[in-house]
């Protein structure tokens, strides 16, 4: 039997048809998975995250004159100009759903990396699943300090964790005290998942180390229908500073309950989460003039680094809002991951992991007020300097640290 050139071509076409799409498309697209709460109480967080990632993907896939990795030129030059394709999965705020969705993204969608997850409790299960499959995971916006201390090889976090954020808060308190402001007693208020618990533990340790008295340490059930008893305790304690660690719906309920019960703290310094979200300020912003929250991102940086303002405008066109603590970290997470994939010149998990470990991204190639992006042996970036932002006149201004501040803090809050 004579095999013709046509038979060879037909055979090749048939083989190609049987290959997984990801294998055939590998040189033309790089598939990255993202898992977020796209439904339920925190659905808006997922929607905003999607817009942040889409903004970053646009910059990578198209040609922009920004000083960001991969902005100039189209796609990933290390993979022949391959474009980034994003696949979103809804974990609904449930750690076990997160585990299942991560596995689906890896085995069915054939992603080469996963980013997520907003809730730290979900990051625990998603990162463990990625570790099992040797797929790199970037903890884009999870701040629990214990996440990077579990000995995982494929876990990376470019942004700060709550020990770093809390240290920035206590540095701020120390600076106020040096100027003669009375800051002696603290009230901690935190939800009962890993985010709230780790945050409170970090703050308790810092309070003991720095000489502040914790007069209330209140743990409440996340998504609780009532916080009246807890707010009565806070009111009775009457601390100099209230320090909440709460997601958006809990934060709104806290502020509403405080108003109902006549509790007006002298100052609130929040562990971001809900207190960085527009939805909270749309609901109760009139009661929060002067609230301070920690952050990773400062829009004030646009004055020194004009591309920050331009990228914010791109995001705002998609989402109707400015970049915030969460969406800025999500944006940067995709830039960091794409940069590593490009340097790895591969979609192989181990090669991407090694490229991530070798990351050395200077401050001016980010939209953040950080020194740089580089990871220690546990996958944590220790150069991600936090800022403190104060809500004044309907917008956030940077009030600490001194080198990033554009305004003096208003203390006590109005």
The 10s digit of each residue's pLDDT in 287-300 is 999 999 998 999 99
Same fold, 22-160+302-383 and 163-295+388-400: yes
Domain limits, the chain: 22-160+302-383, 163-295+388-400
Q: What's the pLDDT score for residue 276? A: 82
Q: What's the pLDDT score for residue 256? A: 97
Q: What's the pLDDT score for residue 414? A: 80
Q: What's the pLDDT score for residue 20? A: 40
Q: Could you tell me how far CA 299 lies from the centroid of its own chain?
A: 16
Which sign, positive or negative, has the C-alpha torsion 153, 154, 156, 162?
negative
Widest CA span in the chain: 96
The reply to whether omega before 174 is within 30° of 0 (cis) is no
Q: What's the pLDDT score for residue 1? A: 43
CATH superfamily of this structure's domain 163-295+388-400: Response regulator (3.40.50.2300)
CATH 3.40.50.2300 holds for 22-160+302-383: yes
Q: What's the pLDDT score for residue 24? A: 33
Helical axes 349-357 vs 325-344, angle rounded to 10°: 110
The reply to whether omega before 316 is within 30° of 0 (cis) is no
Q: Let me know if 279 is exposed, middle or buried by CB neighbors in 10 A (0-12, 13-18, 19+).
A: middle
Contacts with 406 (C-beta within 8 Å, 6 or more apart), sequence order: 300, 303, 397, 398
Q: Evaluate whether 149 touches 378 at the Cβ level (below 8 Å).
A: yes
Given a cut of 70, the residues of the chain with pLDDT beneath it are: 1-27
Burial 204-216 (b: 16+ CB within 10 A, else e): bebbeeeebebbb
């Amino acid at each position: 039997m004579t095999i013709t050139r046509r038979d060879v071509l037909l055979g090749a076409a048939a083989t190609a048809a049987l290959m997984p799409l990801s294998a055939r498309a590998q040189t033309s697209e790089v598939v990255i998975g993202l898992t977020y709460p796209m439904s339920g109480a925190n659905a808006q967080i997922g929607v905003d995250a999607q817009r942040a990632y889409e903004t970053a993907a646009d910059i990578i896939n198209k040609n922009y004159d920004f000083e960001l990795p991969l902005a100039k030129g189209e796609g990933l030059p290390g993979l022949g100009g391959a474009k980034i394709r994003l696949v979103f999965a809804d974990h609904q705020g449930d750690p076990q759903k997160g585990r299942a969705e991560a596995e689906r993204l890896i085995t069915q969608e054939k992603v080469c990396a996963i980013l997520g997850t907003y809730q730290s409790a979900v990051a625990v299960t998603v990162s463990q699943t990625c570790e099992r499959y040797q797929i790199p995971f970037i903890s884009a916006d999870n701040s629990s300090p214990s996440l990077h201390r579990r000995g995982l090889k494929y876990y990376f976090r470019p942004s700060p964790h709550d020990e770093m954020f809390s240290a920035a808060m206590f540095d701020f308190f120390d600076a106020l005290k040096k100027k003669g402001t009375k800051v002696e007693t603290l009230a901690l208020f935190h939800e009962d998942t890993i985010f709230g618990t780790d945050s409170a533990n970090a703050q308790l340790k810092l309070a003991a180390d720095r000489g502040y008295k914790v007069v209330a340490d209140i743990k409440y059930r996340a998504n609780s229908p009532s916080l009246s008893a807890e707010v009565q305790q806070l009111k009775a304690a009457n601390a100099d500073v209230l320090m909440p660690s709460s997601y958006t719906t809990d934060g709104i309920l806290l502020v509403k309950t405080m108003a109902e019960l006549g509790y007006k703290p002298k100052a609130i310094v929040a562990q971001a989460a809900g207190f960085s979200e527009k939805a909270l300020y749309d609901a109760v912003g009139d009661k929060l003039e002067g609230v301070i929250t920690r952050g990773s991102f400062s829009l004030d940086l646009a004055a020194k680094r004009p591309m920050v303002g331009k990228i914010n405008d791109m995001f705002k066109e998609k989402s109707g809002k400015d970049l915030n603590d969460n969406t800025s970290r999500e944006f940067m997470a995709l830039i960091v991951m794409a940069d590593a994939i490009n340097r790895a010149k591969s979609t192989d998990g181990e090669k991407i992991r090694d490229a991530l470990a070798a990351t050395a991204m200077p401050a001016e190639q980010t939209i953040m007020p950080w020194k740089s992006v580089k990871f220690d042996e546990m996958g944590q970036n220790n150069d991600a300097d936090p800022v403190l932002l104060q809500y004044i006149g309907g917008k956030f201004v940077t009030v600490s640290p001194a080198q990033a501040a554009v305004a003096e803090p208003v203390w006590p809050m109005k």
